[in-house]
Amino acid sequence: MKKKDVLPGTLALMVLKTLDVLGPLHGYGIARRIAQISGELLSLNQGTLYPVLIRLEQEGAIASQWGPSENNRRARFYRLTRSGQKLLHAETREWEQAAAIVERFFRVKAEDLQ
C-alpha cells in the first residue's frame, strides 16, 4: 500500500494526541505509534518528526528530558504540557469543524441541488 502525506499541521496534532494518550515517549516511540495507528500508511523519519517536536517544544506545547530507553540507550522523552493540552483541545475542535464541512460536500448529490 502506498505511504501517505499528511496535511500541514496534522502531524503536530497527531504528536500531541499521542503524548496525551500514552504519556511521555521518545521520538522513535512517537513515530512508531503514529505508524501503527495509521495502519502503517504513515511512516515518519527523523527529518519529518524532529522539526515538529522542536517547534512544539519552542512553543511550550511539549517539554522534554533525557532518560534511558527500553534498550538502555540515552533518549529524549517528550511530554505534553498544560499549554499543549489546551492547544490539543483547540486544534481538535478546529479539525473536527473543518472535517464536518468537507463531509457535507461529499454527501451532496446532484438531485439535492434541484
Looking at 1-113, which runs of residues are DSSP E strands? 25-26, 62-68, 74-80
Indicate if the pLDDT at residue 86 is higher than 60: yes
pLDDT-based confidence at 9, cuts 50/70/90?
confident
d(CA 16, CA 111): 41
Mean pLDDT (the chain, rounded)? 89
Instruction: For 26, list phi and psi in degrees, rounded to 5.
Output: -85, 170
Q: Tens digits of per-residue pLDDT, 89-114?
A: 999 999 999 999 999 988 887 666 65
The CA–CA distances, whole Å, from 3 to 13, 29, 40 equal 19, 19, 8
* Fold of domain 10-108: Arc Repressor Mutant, subunit A (1.10.10)
Cβ burial of 48 (10 Å; 0-12, 13-18, 19+) is: middle
